[in-house]
Chains A and B, each alone.
Chain A
Amino acid sequence: MRPFIQRTPGAGLPQLVRLLSSTRASANAPKYTSASAEELAHFNALASSWWNVDGPQRILHKMNLLRMDFIYSTVRKHLQLNKPETPLEEEIYVPPYSLDLLPKPIRLRIVEDQEMRRDALLNKSKLRVLDVGCGGGILSESMARLSFVESVLGIDLSSDVLEAAKLHKGKDPILGDEKLSYQLTAIEDLDASKKYDIVTMFEMLEHVDYPAKVLSEALKRVEVGGWVFISTINRDFVSWFTTIFMGEHMLRIVPVGTHTLEKYINQHEIREWIETNQDVRDSFKVVDAKGCVYLPAYGWKFTNSPDVGNYFMAIQRTL
């Protein structure tokens, strides 16, 4: 068992801060985003059972439901209802104060107008998505099926899981090559001039050796107004207890060896990293972060504390 107790909450921090702040120093270093051989061997071994929703990845499949809710509601909520070029008579009224102050019938009317506009805007959208560390493609496939997504590119460093992803894609005729494609590549090897509306990194940062490097490579590939969505795990007792001790060893709902505690990144560390890097701070904003927890008989559920256990984060490029 990992000597968790010996590790006081702050003990691992300097190392991670170092990792997170390594961005600048690494300008022309070799593949900083590459995964260790150990990590890749682990995921390669899981490839064949990736899509068995009752198999080793069931918990990831269940989590996918919640993260799709997170992505959908975030994108929908932050649609720009009135573009500068929108003619005045077509503008949707957005009161400059809380809607709750208005009488109910008026409030409902305004909400309904706004929702209809959101539907219309989404219907017209054709978003391009990059899924980094796509694994067997659980999230990539879901994103590709959304009506407002034009195309998804999934990348990973494990060739076996990508094979599983490609094989599974063939089981759904609506997932044509123009909608969904996969590529065995490190993120920094992707053409940085090609931008995406959404870049996702789910359950991935905790598996890489240089998370800050990966994150900054991701940010480079986002369109203005676009989004980076990540999910990972706080480095705390709850995480260790639920994901490693209970998840891997006691309940066996997660394959043993999936997680390494030292690699977990705290929610506030990401925020701090953004704040301390001026170029990042100027153009990116953490719009939302939500904790989530797995309840065995229920599934995944949002919590009010993004600082405990697993969390999702939405970062928007504003400039």
Chain B
Amino acid sequence: MFGAVRRLATAAASAQVSRLQDVVIVGGGPAGLSLLAALKSSHKTRHLKCTLVEGGSLDNIRTFGEDPPENYTNRVVSLTPQSVEFMQERIGSWQYINQDRIKFYSSIVAYDSQEKDARIQFDASMTDGNGVLAVMCENINIQSLLLSRIDEIGDSTILDNTKVLDIVHPNKPEINHDLTAEPQTTSPGLDWPIVQLSNGESIQTRLLVGADGYNSPVRKFSGIESRGWQYGRFGVVATIKLQYEDYRSIGWQRFLTTGPLAILPLTEDNATIVWSSTPELSDILLKVTPEIFVHLVNAAMTLDEVDLNYIYGVLKKDPTDTSVLEEIEWRMSKIKLSELEEKYPLPVSEVIDKSRARFPLKMSHADTYVAPRVALIGDAAHTIHPLAGQGLNMGQSDVAGLVEALEKGVERGMDIGSTLVLESYVSNTWPANSMLLGVCDKLHKIFSTDFYPLVLLRGIGMKSLNMLDVVKDLMVKSMAR
């Protein structure tokens, strides 16, 4: 009974397709907005009728350009020179970046918690970024510049606060047991998917793009398998202030057995952290007072893991136990000042109110990115451990690859929903993404283990040149694509 009702509902809804579109993009994250801006910027694809659907509100993105919040938001990413170039050259959107809120930086110092002499410095000379390793930038700043570019061009529809409720295939209705029922009626002959929206509209589209993040409803609709695993770790992010501005423009990353902790520079005395932690530790990090949190970050960048574990133990029992403050200060005071200044990041002095948040870390990769009339981009196609700061950047290179395939398809007079057009997008992006996912996964596994022999090996190994080279190679590969 229920089945029949549901089938009838589906048939009824899809009977009134309100619009036909060439491209419907689900998701207004960095990947979806970038695709829309890129399609509308290319003279080969700008004639395509496009609609973007986003479940959340884009209001704060719209106002960001004119009226940004005072403090940095906590979703900050490191953009590679390639992504910046793409936004500059192919989308023409970089001019809309809020210049006051980005930070170019030239190197990262990575060091190990098990062996304090094991450290590597990556700098711009290892990549081809013209003296820049990467740019720190808020997600919202990126979304804002993309949206500004889309608004400037006009001519596309953005529906925010609108959820995709269901996607149906006109030629493959749910199995019809009730033979007396009317057959499903849609626009005759069109085999395009129909996207049913929370505002009551149904749009039938030549090409449906899933830019809808990790849980991608579009991926599920298309039946594309995604494989991967949860790391059992959380990424804790926060916006912080350093004691004073660090003129060196350096990022710092310390490999702890709980996962890497990174402090990345923003303008003036601002910085952002990403702390990969066990569920237990992430609980503590979110619960402790701001003052304790600040001390914990400083401690985790500097002290031995034995000391850290002792402190975590105290806080687990009582996250407000301020005795750890003295404990930390006492242990830090034993390190020579000159060493602190030279080998470690500047001390953190403040954490911005309400900027602490955590995200579960996972790795996943779809078996393919396309099916007839469907393409996946960004996190819908792959999610990666944030340790090399690549997730959003991979989405941008997906967009570049998909637009290139669509341009070629248009030039060849093809139906852009055909797999004949979409296949080259997969063959041009999947292998590189797969390599990067593998590299970051390996790095995570080498460092985030407390399996003793491996830790020992790492401790001894990181000092010896061999291991350093392996790690360096992996890191450069992942950062310099």
Contacts and interface: CB of A to CB of B under 8 A. Distances in A.
Interface string B409-423: 011111100111000
Contact of A170 (B47, B189, B418, B419): B189
Interface in A117-169: 119, 141-147, 149, 167
Contact of B47 (A64, A147, A149): A147
A65 interface: yes
B420 A61 contact: yes
A146 to B, nearest CB: 5
A94 interface: no
Contact of A142 (B43, B191, B414): B414
A68 interface: yes
A173 interface: yes
Nearest to B22: A174
A25 B414 CA distance: 41
Contact of B418 (A53, A146, A149): A53
A167 B190 CA distance: 11
Contacts of B413: 68, 141-146, 149
Contacts of B418: 53
Nearest to A53: B420
Interface string B187-201: 111110000000000
Nearest to A139: B413
Given A171-B189, A171-B191, A65 B412 contact: yes
- The interface centre, meaning the residue of B47, B190, B413, B418 with most chain A CB atoms within 10 A of its CB, is B413
Nearest to B418: A53
Contacts of B324: none
A226 to B, nearest CB: 18
B415 A172 contact: yes
Contacts of A54: 419
Interface in B159-192: 187-191
Interface residues of B, number: 17
Contact of A62 (B187, B410, B415, B420): B420
Nearest to B409: A65
Nearest to B419: A53
Given A53-B418, A171-B189, A69 B20 contact: no
B364 to A, nearest CB: 27
Contacts of A167: 189
B419 A173 contact: no
Nearest to B187: A173
A316 to B, nearest CB: 21
A147 B190 CA distance: 22
B420 A65 contact: yes
- The interface centre, meaning the residue of A53, A65, A144 with most chain B CB atoms within 10 A of its CB, is A65
Nearest to B412: A68
Nearest to A54: B419
A2 to B, nearest CB: 32
Contact of A65 (B20, B191, B414, B415): B414
A141 B20 CA distance: 19
A72 interface: yes
B203 to A, nearest CB: 14
Contacts of B415: 141, 145, 172
B47 A171 contact: no
A170 B190 CA distance: 8
B420 A72 contact: no
Nearest to A62: B420
B179 to A, nearest CB: 25
Contacts of B410: 145
Given A64-B412, A119-B43, A142-B412, 14 more contacts: A53-B418, A61-B420, A65-B412, A68-B414, A69-B412, A142-B413, A143-B413, A144-B413, A146-B413, A167-B189, A171-B191, A173-B20, A173-B187, A173-B190
18 contacts: A54-B419, A61-B420, A64-B420, A65-B420, A68-B411, A68-B412, A69-B412, A72-B411, A72-B412, A145-B410, A145-B413, A145-B414, A145-B415, A167-B189, A170-B189, A171-B189, A171-B190, A171-B191
Interface of A: 53-54, 61-62, 64-65, 68-69, 72, 119, 141-147, 149, 167, 170-173
